[in-house]
Homo-oligomer: A and B are copies of this chain.
Amino acid sequence: MTDVTAAPAGLQHDLGWTLGVVFRAYLKSATAVTVGLPGGHRGYQVLAAAARSAPASQSALAQQLGIDRTVMTYLLDDLERTELVERRPAPTDRRTRHVVATTRGRGLLDDLAARLAQAEAHVLAGLPDSDQQTFKALLQRLAGYANDLDPVSDACAIVQDINAATSP
């Protein structure tokens, strides 16, 4: 009895399934490669963003990363405790905190980036190099567009469909 997972019938072309498979594969590798780093692969994303520029605010960063601002608080607590990142009061608005990488954080970033690149390569390894480039380019364009997408509008009728047939 082999353990090899084939695509379920009828789902090979489903965006949800294909995206899910690839995303989970990435998560698995990214997690394996960031053990010990507070926040795992997301701790890396915060650190990377904080190292290249000081994000405008915690909640702005949270939104960019697709997580809740309350989760960001805990994440930053952990990253600050390990001295990889600092919260700095914004000079212009005393409510806001800038997130900046410490020297230590920046020092760790290169190694981390290399590890994540390894995870990335691992996930993309099924494609020849030129196709990897194409895929990444398209995905990046999509991400730039999709981050501010509202869910599709029309979304009410199915409840009736199901309940209608359930009763008698």
- Using CB atoms and an 8 Å cutoff, list the residues of chain A in contact with chain B: 3-37, 41, 44-45, 48-49, 51-53, 55, 61, 63-66, 82-83, 104, 108, 111-112, 115-116, 118-120, 122-127, 131, 134-136, 138-149, 151-152, 154-156, 158-163, 165-166
A-B contact list, 11 entries, CB within 8 Å:
A9-B53, A13-B136, A18-B136, A20-B65, A25-B146, A31-B151, A36-B158, A36-B162, A115-B158, A127-B141, A134-B138
Copies of this chain in its oligomeric complex: 2
Known: A135-B135, A139-B135. A16 touches B35 (CB 8 A): no
Known: A10-B49, A158-B115. A18 touches B139 (CB 8 A): yes
A11 CB contacts on chain B under 8 angstroms? 45, 48-49, 64
* Contact between chains at A22 and B143 (CB < 8 Å): yes
| The residue from B45, B61, B152, B156 contacting A16, defined by CB atoms under 8 A apart | B45
Q: Smallest CB–CB gap between A103 and chain B, Å?
A: 10
* Contact between chains at A16 and B5 (CB < 8 Å): no
| The residue from B12, B66, B82 contacting A144, defined by CB atoms under 8 A apart | B12
